[in-house]
Amino acid sequence: MSPAVTTLIVLAFVAFFFITEMVPLAITALAGAITLGLLGVIPVNTVFSGLSNSTVVLFAAMFVIGASMFHTGLAQKMGQAVVKVAGSSENGLLAGVMIAAAALSSVTSNTGTTACLIPVILGICQAAKIPASRQMMPLAFAAGLGGIITLVGTPPNIIAAGALKAAGLRPFGFFEFAWIGIPLTVAGLIYMLTIGKRLLPKEQISAEGVKVDEEAAAEAKAGVSDPKKQWITALVLIAVVVVMALDLKQVPLEVAAGIGALVLVVCGCLSEKQAYRGIDWVTIFLFAGMMPIATAMDKSGAGKMIADWVVGLLGGNPSPIMLTAALFLLSAGLTQFMSNTACTALLAPIGISIAQGVGASPHAVMMAIAVAASCAFATPVGTPPNTLVLGPGGYKFNDYVKAGSGLVVVCFIVSIIIIPMVWPFFPAK
């Protein structure tokens, strides 16, 4: 059996367990890498090489910075300020909620953003006598859309940039995602204010009985009484974002984020244990496990085999726009039932191979894959923010299908129009 076929068989098993989650995601990824090493497809001593990848450091450091925002109460304060300005009308509150969630999610955890805003919005809904079901889902959707705006807003963005860099191509810049992220956020806001809100249930859910992380809530309240820690966290976040945006060769992204995280711990904005708890270790090990698999797909020829099959399926000489649309739909479909991180890691090397197979620049294809992976709006299990608002909003599975499917379609249309304009398939040399 050829290395390419062996790699594809292992990849099929990895994809199956990703989708079903019968085995934890991180374990599935690491098991796939170990299997390929034991079968001789990749050197055994490279099985855990993903853990030394600089992107892993970037992930961990940004998780710590995000955790500091929540532990000091800075994120909660920012959310309350935006919602206060938005007023108490349903449309005003919906717009305020989505803008606050998108802004916070662009530089920190989508999950953390949603978690910190849920109790704030529940209280406002109760005071304004607006059903929480009218605000919770827009909150989750905005958190997903806002994450697309920057490189560190959501793991798929970092994975897409890392895959390009690993393939010897120019990686995406820090704010490069804003070219598509901002239009998608605006389109999502318009959709929810017009069509989406008509598809949301109107049941009134009491804030009582909603489970909230008591430890995180207590820490946030304690942090609110210490403006000094909030200012330190805000200044560190701004400094890290500015350094990343300047793309200084002397200070790589992971170094800037690492310094920021260390400063926050040393200054006492969060303890060492809180910093460790703030890191999403599933994402870390999932990414680390998928890197050797991506290498195996490239070196064994499996990626080229899939590329040839997809190209043949689409007519032998498909246009790049057809490939981009097909991979967007594939990524958007998979992400409704599996981790967006896993989805991007799975499709990234395939997308690069396919684009190169037809002589097109991979950047448009990679952007489509990453953006689509963040469009997990049609199910309650597609992304943690969706799951978090399930109880507070009193939603059923079909509520996500009704309101979320339309948003996925809107994102598809906007993406297929904008992506080729910003990232041409055949850029002038």
Q: Measured between alpha carbons, how far is 242 from 326 in angstroms, rounded to an integer?
A: 35
Helices 74-86 and 214-224, axial angle in degrees (round to 10): 80
Given a cut of 50, is residue 167 above it in pLDDT?
yes
**Which pLDDT belongs to residue 148?**
93
Residues 304-312: contacts with CB within 8 Å, 24+ apart?
304/4, 304/353, 304/357, 305/4, 305/8, 306/8, 306/350, 306/353, 306/354, 307/350, 307/353, 307/354, 307/356, 307/357, 308/357, 310/350, 310/354, 311/354, 311/357, 311/358
Q: How confident is the model at residue 117 (pLDDT cuts 50, 70, 90)?
A: confident
When pLDDT is averaged across residues 101-117 and rounded to a whole number, the result is 80
**Which pLDDT belongs to residue 420?**
93
**Which pLDDT belongs to residue 209?**
36
Q: Which residue has the tokens 């993406």?
A: 415
Q: How confident is the model at residue 260 (pLDDT cuts 50, 70, 90)?
A: very high
Q: Measured between alpha carbons, how far is 141 from 339 in angstroms, rounded to an integer?
A: 16
**Which pLDDT belongs to residue 247?**
67
Q: Measured between alpha carbons, how far is 22 from 15 in angstroms, rounded to an integer?
A: 11
Residue 196 CA, chain-centre distance (Å), reads 22
Secondary structure element (H or E) that encloses residue 336, with its range: none
Which of 4, 82, 1, 116 shows the shortest CA–CA distance to 389? Answer: 116
Instruction: Please check whether residue 332 is in contact with residue 382, taking contact to mean a CB–CB distance below 8 angstroms.
Output: no
**Which pLDDT belongs to residue 9?**
92
Of all residues in the chain, the percent with pLDDT exceeding 90 is: 26
Instruction: Please check whether residue 132 is in contact with residue 120, taking contact to mean a CB–CB distance below 8 angstroms.
Output: no
**Tens digit of pLDDT for each residue in 308-319?**
777 677 776 678
Given a cut of 60, is residue 19 above it in pLDDT?
yes
Give the angle 290-148-112 at the CA atoms, nearest 5°: 80
**Tens digit of pLDDT for each residue in 221-251?**
554 557 899 999 889 988 887 887 676 778 8
Given a cut of 90, is residue 184 above it in pLDDT?
yes
Given a cut of 60, is residue 92 above it in pLDDT?
yes
Of all residues in the chain, the percent with pLDDT exceeding 70 is: 89
Given a cut of 50, is residue 207 above it in pLDDT?
no
Tokens of 348: 């990234």
Given a cut of 80, is residue 76 above it in pLDDT?
no
> pTM for the whole thing?
0.71
For 258-288, letters b (16+ CB in 10 Å) and e give bbbbebbbeeebbeeebbebbbbebbbbbbb
Of the listed ranges 8-17, 106-115, 252-261, the least confidently predicted one is 106-115
Burial label, 12 (beta-carbon count in 10 A; 0-12, 13-18, 19+): exposed
When pLDDT is averaged across residues 382-389 and rounded to a whole number, the result is 80
Q: Which amino acid is at 334?
A: L
**Which pLDDT belongs to residue 82?**
66
Of 73-77, 182-186, 285-289, 344-348, which has the strongest mean pLDDT? 182-186
Instruction: Please check whether residue 206 is in contact with residue 129, taking contact to mean a CB–CB distance below 8 angstroms.
Output: no
Q: What are phi and psi of 136, to 5 degrees?
A: -65, -45
**Which pLDDT belongs to residue 211?**
40
Of the listed ranges 33-47, 102-116, 302-316, 347-361, the least confidently predicted one is 302-316
Given a cut of 70, is residue 427 above it in pLDDT?
yes
Please tell me which residue, 140 or 129, carries the higher pLDDT value: 140
**What does the CA dihedral 390, 101, 127, 391 come to, rounded to 10 degrees?**
10
CB atoms within 10 A of CB 391: 15
**Tens digit of pLDDT for each residue in 323-374?**
889 889 988 988 887 778 878 888 888 888 888 888 888 999 999 999 999 9
Tokens of 124: 């406002």
Q: How far is CA 329 from CA 216, 272, 319, 347, in A?
A: 37, 41, 16, 12
**Which pLDDT belongs to residue 57?**
83
Helices 362-373 and 178-194, axial angle in degrees (round to 10): 40
Q: Measured between alpha carbons, how far is 348 from 294 in angstroms, rounded to an integer?
A: 8
Given a cut of 90, is residue 129 above it in pLDDT?
no
Q: What are phi and psi of 394, to 5 degrees?
A: 65, 35
Mean confidence (pLDDT) of the chain: 83
Q: How far is CA 166 from CA 108, 169, 331, in A?
A: 25, 7, 21
Given a cut of 60, is residue 219 above it in pLDDT?
no
Given a cut of 80, is residue 179 above it in pLDDT?
yes
Q: How confident is the model at residue 418 (pLDDT cuts 50, 70, 90)?
A: very high
**Which pLDDT belongs to residue 210?**
39
**Which pLDDT belongs to residue 206?**
43
Instruction: Please check whether residue 271 is in contact with residue 68, taking contact to mean a CB–CB distance below 8 angstroms.
Output: no
- 418 HSE (CA, 13 A, CB side): 19
